[in-house]
Amino acid sequence: MISFPKLFLLSGLILLLPSTATRVQAAPNMEIVERWLGGNSGVGSLKINFTQTRTMKSIKVPVRQQGSLWLDYGNDRFRWQTGEPAQTIVVSQGRNILILRTPTKRYEIRPAGSGGAPGMAALANGFPRNLGDFQRKYRVIEIRPQSDTQRIVTRPLGASGKGVSRFTFVVDASKFRLRGIEIDLEDGSSINTSFSSVQPNAGMPSSLFKPDLAGYTETKF
């Protein structure tokens, strides 16, 4: 017969042991990722209109702006701008990004993965085209349903993940179309982007990705 002290000690040890249920987690359902990416087959470019909401610890009221994103898959380039007329423009330039602040007529060229532009490096890489491309660029943390969407919660790999805590693709749960992205940064701020319209195979004139810098002064933001 087990004495009371030994029984008490045994009970304590059992409580300290992690249960199998809490130790084993189901692998993310990558079928959701594949179905979303499958819809991009044959798409060479995208023009996306969006509403962006940015929250920062230093500002009590979130900043909300309208904007547009152009993705040119064939030439691996993008343009992101917010405001109407455009207040901020970000254009990919190979491993760098060009940032323009039109009200002050200033610009900066910086590495896409620099600490001053977290999240932009992932955009500079473009949205993934297939599962292999996705797995090279992102590590999946979890995939979870929320309302009428599936949240594909990831972290960008390599320099693209610098300063980024989570990079979430918001996918329609029934049509498996990308409806937005949510970027949580390590400094506690976040950038949530909700797509209002998506135009596949839109025209991509070169001038979009080569903004005129006449009258602008180079600076460090």
Condensed to tens digits (0 to 9), the pLDDT of residues 170-208 reads: 999 999 999 999 999 998 999 999 999 999 999 999 999
In tens, the pLDDT along 27-73 reads 788 999 999 999 877 888 999 999 999 998 888 899 999 999 999 98
Q: Does a structural domain hold residue 9?
A: no
Q: Does a structural domain hold residue 53?
A: yes
Q: Number of structural domains, the chain? A: 1
CATH assignment of the domain containing 74: 2.50.20.10
Question: In the structure encoding, which two tokens stand for residue 68, read together?
Answer: 């547009």
| Whole-angstrom distance, CA of residue 118 vs CA of residue 161 | 8
Q: Does a structural domain hold residue 207?
A: yes
Mean pLDDT of 119-145: 83
Task: Look at the pTM and tell me if it is higher than 0.85.
Answer: no
Domain housing 202: 29-212
Q: What number of other Cβ atoms are within 10 A of residue 54's Cβ?
A: 17
Q: Does a structural domain hold residue 101?
A: yes
Q: What is the pLDDT of residue 101?
A: 96
| DSSP letter string, 43-88 | --EEEEEEEEEEEETTEEEEEEEEEEEEEETTTTEEEEEETTTTSE
